[in-house]
Structure 1
Amino acid sequence: MSLIKKYSFPLLLCITAWLWLYNSSCIRRDNFRTNGGTIAFSQDTLLFDTVFTAMGTSTRSIKIINKEKERLKIESIRLFRGSSSPYFLNVNGVSGKSVSDVSIEGNDSLYVFASVFIDPTNTDNPFIVEDRIVARVNGQDFTLPVLAYGQNAIYVTDSVLQTQTWTKNRPYVIIKNALVEEGHTLTLNAGTRVYVHADSRLFVQGTLKVNGTKNDSVVFQGDRIDRRIYFDDEDFVNGVGGEWGGINLLKTSYNNTINYLLLKNGGASTMLGENVITDASLQVDPDTVNNGTPKLTITNSTIRNSGGYGLLAFASSIKSENNLFFACAKENVALIQGGRYDFFGCTIAGFASRINTATDKHFSMVALNFLSTGNNEYIGGNLFLTLRNCIVYGNMEDEFFPNKVNDFTAQVTLDHCLIRSNAALPSWVTQQSVLLNQDPLFENTNANNLHFNDYHLKTGSPAKGAGVTFSGMASQDMDGTPRNNPPSIGCYE
């Protein structure tokens, strides 16, 4: 009994004090500034890059900042166009066109997330979709412009394609892969723009014809074009290697021709059923037709910033002239398991982007007459490779790696090329007028911004006028500049 008397009074004081503090805190939590007050937005416009209609975007965010010392209650955060707005808001996990009764502590901020879904129209050209975010505090409205550029598109979803022609009128968006059926031809006219979703690809069993021009190339890229969400202003224009899969010319495909094609940011490793598809922007499978015409003839084209390989070929046949391959996470060009290849006037540059997905540095180019299948196990094929008037150079000591097994033929000829190779090239590689380890003096190689990379040759470059004229050589370089006699080495005169 004495113990109860001893501790009951202090205990009562503690309970009383606790209740007082609790009630005080409740009062403080409800103590908002009831008149005036200023808020600000973290930016002057909420801007979305081009949005494909019927697809929507990933989410953007802005901050609402309380400029006062006191707590403020925001009566509502709403879209000015209300239920007709194509935009959606999310505040503190609550989604909709309007959110009510949101508080911000003094000198604190609140995130508002927004997305947009634009209905298709009949317009071919890009169009502007506008609205405003309106935040009301104590009867006063604060507004933020919201702006998106909409673009109608033609959606190709998990489709088998028969003979048809794509044009520049509207972009094409490939979702869940597309397949050109055997015996059919897909033709892409000058200026055609193709956006490929995530890990999707274009597979070709038949024939692909890309008819770009110098002033109107055909472009393949990922469909995640609102990259400001992910990168700062320096990086978003470049994209990241592996934004989409690639183009695969399958075994039955033949007589493919590509002129003035830009392939950028491809090379995602993807799945097709239970099968893993290699991470290459352009993959050319074995030539099973063998009709004397190369399986692929590619000219005046650029493959850049792949998340894996740029051009990858297995036991195939390719003629490549006036092309530029650069900034790929793995080899820019990889020729595996033999095949027959002619590379004329190409620049293969091993300068990767700092925002690429690669962690290891690879050669610019490899040429093998085998494909490893396990420990000391391989399959192979005869290899015939000619590099003429080509540059293979980068920031590694060795950028060109030819290798062979003796079970199969390997004939590699370097004719009037500039090659970076600190290690001696194998004796079975034929060399004629090869410039080894001489800096080609490119105009600019910038790992921070691919748009600053310029593989034209500076005055005084050892590659200037160091090539050889040969029968059937293209009369112009990638720019359309006439080739001199003798021509320069690389894709630019």
Structure 2
Amino acid sequence: MRFLFPLFLLLSSLVVVLPGCEPKEDLLTTDSSAKLEFAEDTVKFDTVFTSVGTVSKRLWVYNRNVRAVRVSEISLQNRPGVTYSLLVNGDATLTARNVEIRGKDSVLVLVRATIDPTPADLKPFLVVDDLKFLTNGNEQVVKVLSYGQNAYFHNREEIRRNTIWKADKPHVIYDYAFVDSAITLTIEPGTRIYSHAGAALLVGGKLLCNATFQPAGELKPTDRNVVRFQGDRREAAYQETPGQWGGIWFLSSSRDNVVRYTDIKNSAFGLLVLNPRVLRPFPSVTVENSIIQNISSAKQAFTNAGVQVALDGAALLALSGNFTARNVLMANCEQYAVEGLLGSSLQLDYCTIANYSTLTNRLTPSVILASTLKINNQVKTAAPSLTMRNAIVWGSMREGEELEFVDGEQYAGNISISNSVLKTKKYDNTGALGQRKNGNILNPTEGPGYLFKSTPLRFRGKALDFQLDTLSPASNKALPLPGLTRDLLNRPRNPTTPDIGAYERVNP
């Protein structure tokens, strides 16, 4: 019994002391290094909204710190197209404030999305919002992705079996769609492909885009059988804005690609062959009866398997690749229209390059060849080649120079240009690189105002039309080419004296 009294005192002391010793997980930290972790980096509403509807998704938010944190604000921007609301700890709200998460604990955030009840053809295909968490001065963001129309969605999709993209619904690319090597992606006539900001179609195998379609007669610019690639922004302000998505990229393993009767617009690159290891055989792409326009990209760094290279935007860009282009219009590119690098082979027949800058004063020529390129900070060398027949190379360069052959003296024998209209001062001669020969027409005095029906320099505010003007110096100056008896719009060419460029002039 003599030990009971001291034990009673000890227990009494503990009772007094314990309430003042809070567990660490309840103590609040204000340290700026105390950040949150999330179960997902993107909240995806996979349900396709074809009418008014509401869908909810869960997001677990973790506090991995020993001590508790106070999230001062959880909020969404609520961009047009979808209305969001939050449910945090059972409380419905638009913006949650001062949410405490105990140490080594978590909280469930429920995100609810309600589609805007606008007609389907006015809804955006994708609505991307930012779910923001502000903790101890740190802002962390989880993307919220919602679909606003009935479409096929390709979100980081890897295509590993032969696949057909049908034309019954639009296709939307988010981030990328990748065609594996030895796999063929076939795109049906009339298919519409919309890509989100920065998204690209990556082809490691083969792309057959509208490869078998043949119009019965003259093709109208709005023909429903033309395949069309563009960005996913539907607003009028974005209809002709360059650089909205990445473009179509053909990788080192890609072979025998065909792109026909296709419009590609508003991207960073039109068609890009990316073979920085200079692996042979080179990837090859045949482009026919197509339009590539509104292309723009500041220099971008590409890193793949330890190989890094930086490239500017272009309608056709071949890095150790081969392009064959027939009846193709390339217009309004902010950097280059055609770029052949490091051993690439380019053949351009009946092509029109009408390169008028819409955003900036362009400082780059429309067509450029270069035999050297810095890859991984080392200079590689391989001579490119260019064959151009019955083509137009024109644009808005102030210095009047739309051609550039970098170190061209070293591969002058690889350049053959004939029966073409060229805007160039540098090569306005008969030397090894000079182009005043072979039936070429250089710097015609009529100027750009008479070359095409409508250009930004001639008719401001009018719809652009790069068909030939009635007084165009390109009329009846081409040399007939076997097998190329029709123009971009499938109109018959004059069998003896066809017109230069993608369009055969139609007499009124």
Measured against the shorter chain, the TM-score band is: 0.5 to 0.7
Alignment partners' CA distance in 2, 1:128 and 1:265: 19
Alignment partners' CA distance in 2, 1:152 and 1:343: 39
Check conservation: 1:53, 1:118, Cα contact below 8 A: no
Q: Which runs of 4+ in 1 moved over 4 A?
A: 52-56, 125-129, 372-375, 405-410, 447-451
The Cα of 1:55 is off from its aligned counterpart by: 11
Check conservation: 1:345, 1:389, Cα contact below 8 A: yes
Post-superposition Cα deviations, 1:120-173, rounded to whole Å, max 9, x if no partner, equal 9xx9x85899xxxxxxxxxxxxxxxxxxx9631111110111211111100011
Match of residue 249 from structure 1: 250
Match of residue 442 from structure 2: 436
The Cα of 1:341 is off from its aligned counterpart by: 1.6
2:270 aligned residue (269, 281, 285):
281
Check conservation: 2:454, 2:462, Cα contact below 8 A: no
What pairs with 1:173-184 in structure 2 (closer than 5 Å)? Answer: 173-184=172-183
* TM-score, normalised by the number of residues in structure 1: 0.63
* TM-score, normalised by the number of residues in structure 2: 0.61
Counterpart of 1:492, as a letter, is Y
Correspondence 1:299 to 2:288: yes
Alignment partners' CA distance in 2, 1:306 and 1:117: 35
The Cα of 1:184 is off from its aligned counterpart by: 0.5
Match of residue 465 from structure 1: 476
Match of residue 192 from structure 1: 191
What pairs with 1:65-464 in structure 2 (closer than 5 Å)? Answer: 88=83, 117-118=114-115, 126=121, 151-161=149-159, 162-211=161-210, 214=219, 215=223, 216-225=225-234, 227-228=235-236, 231=237, 236-238=238-240, 240-267=241-268, 280-286=269-275, 288-290=279-281, 295-308=284-297, 309-353=314-358, 356=359, 358=360, 360-372=362-374, 378-396=379-397, 397-404=400-407, 411-425=414-428, 427-429=431-433, 431-438=437-444, 439=447, 441-446=451-456, 452-464=463-475
Post-superposition Cα deviations, 1:410-438, rounded to whole Å, max 9, x if no partner, equal 51111100000122357323641110001
The Cα of 1:373 is off from its aligned counterpart by: 5.3
Check conservation: 1:421, 1:436, Cα contact below 8 A: yes
Counterpart of 2:289, as a letter, is N
Aligned residues: 343
Check conservation: 1:337, 1:368, Cα contact below 8 A: yes
The Cα of 1:363 is off from its aligned counterpart by: 1.1
Alignment partners' CA distance in 2, 1:406 and 1:446: 35
Alignment partners' CA distance in 1, 2:292 and 2:178: 21
The Cα of 1:483 is off from its aligned counterpart by: 1.0
Check conservation: 2:357, 2:396, Cα contact below 8 A: no
Alignment partners' CA distance in 1, 2:463 and 2:114: 34
The Cα of 1:372 is off from its aligned counterpart by: 4.3
| Structure 2: tracts of 5 or more residues without a match | 1-46, 52-80, 86-91, 95-112, 125-146, 298-313
Alignment partners' CA distance in 1, 2:348 and 2:408: 22
Counterpart of 2:339, as a letter, is A
| Structure 1: tracts of 5 or more residues without a match | 1-51, 57-85, 98-115, 130-148, 268-279
Check conservation: 1:370, 1:405, Cα contact below 8 A: no
Alpha-carbon spacing, 1:457–1:257, altered in 2? closer, same or farther (3 Å): same
Alignment partners' CA distance in 2, 1:378 and 1:257: 31
The Cα of 1:176 is off from its aligned counterpart by: 1.6
Alignment partners' CA distance in 1, 2:188 and 2:230: 16
Q: Taking every aligned residue pair, what percent have the same amino acid on both sides?
A: 29
The Cα of 1:451 is off from its aligned counterpart by: 7.5
Alpha-carbon spacing, 1:151–1:174, altered in 2? closer, same or farther (3 Å): same
Alignment partners' CA distance in 2, 1:422 and 1:237: 34
What pairs with 1:14-53 in structure 2 (closer than 5 Å)? Answer: 53=48
Alignment partners' CA distance in 2, 1:181 and 1:89: 37
